[in-house]
Amino acid sequence: MSRFAGIFNALLDIALPPRCHICHKPVQGEISLHICNECYNSLPVINSPLCTVCGMPFEGEGVDHTCSRCITSPPPYSAARAALRYEGSCKELIHAYKYLYKSHLRRPLALLTAEILHSFVSEQRPELLIPVPLHKSRLRSRGFNQSLLIAETLSRNWQIPLLRQGLIRTRRTTPQVELTRAERLTNLKGAFAVKDTESVTGKHIMLVDDVFTTGATLSACAEALLKAGCSRISAVTVAHAIN
């Protein structure tokens, strides 16, 4: 931001105080997130116990362990984690971001993810971040790739290089939300490809997506990357849908 833009924004904050992204009341103090303390404290943050592989949260008390789904059919990625449950205020924010095209919501969503998943990422130590790509036609209709915008902020925050076009979408697929669980798993087979094999071979790649639903998208991306010779795939998403 230039100096003038900074001054302009400061004046704007005095004239029009920033509002909480969730409850829309004016916020002071928590300026970078623009989420008031009350909303911040009631965010559906994912805590232990959770699945050590897919990151799905378990109800009640206990220790982290592998869920029955990940034991029966182990996914091609080694570990995935989400910051928030896909419910309540998190679901509303993501909905407005993706379907009401409020691209400025990338900032609170990415900053929350950066903060909540910081220790997971420090343990994993990925060498590169790669966003889940959108097909060109979807990109045209939405105007932005929601995962790429979030990955840009995560990359800056975590100081991990970002490979914007590490993966490309080779064909158009039916949106996953319109399919059953079984259909979702086959819908994406072979839908992703690595653009430049040399840039990913032998590397630990961390995928970035907005919502983990069945994990089918991340699995299809991970398979393409492993085929290209990546040594390890992990993943982070803003939210995890409980199903």
Q: Give the DSSP H/E element, type plus range, for residue 90.
A: helix 88-99
Which residue in 33, 34, 36, 82 binds Zn ion (CB under 5 A)?
A: 36
Q: Does 39 help bind Zn ion (rule: CB under 5 A)?
A: yes
Which residues, 6 or more positions from 179, have their beta carbon under 8 angstroms from its beta carbon? 187
CA distance 50 to 212: 14
Which residue number, 62 or 190, has a Cβ lying nearer to Zn ion?
Answer: 62
Task: Looking at residues 178 to 237 of the shown chain, list those that interact with Zn ion (rule: CB under 5 A).
Answer: none
Q: Does 53 help bind Zn ion (rule: CB under 5 A)?
A: yes
Q: Does 70 help bind Zn ion (rule: CB under 5 A)?
A: yes
- In this chain, which stretch among 4-12, 43-51, 81-89, 188-196 interacts with Zn ion, using CB under 5 A? 43-51
Q: Give the DSSP H/E element, type plus range, for residue 240.
A: strand 232-240
Which residue number, 70 or 162, has a Cβ lying nearer to Zn ion?
Answer: 70
Which residue in 33, 46, 50, 51 binds Zn ion (CB under 5 A)?
A: 51
Take residue 233 and report the two structure tokens written for it: 């795939």
Angle of helix 146-158 relative to helix 106-116, nearest 10 degrees, comes to: 50
CA distance to 7, 29, 81, 198, 212, per residue, from 46 (Å):
37, 25, 9, 36, 13
Taking residues 108 to 127 in sequence order and writing x for each that binds Zn ion by CB under 5 A, - otherwise, the string is --------------------
Q: Does 50 help bind Zn ion (rule: CB under 5 A)?
A: no
Q: Does 20 help bind Zn ion (rule: CB under 5 A)?
A: yes
CB of 70 to Zn ion, least distance (A): 3
Q: Locate tokens 């040399």: which residue?
A: 198
Q: Which residues bind Zn ion (CB under 5 A)?
A: 20, 22-23, 36, 39, 51, 53-54, 67, 70
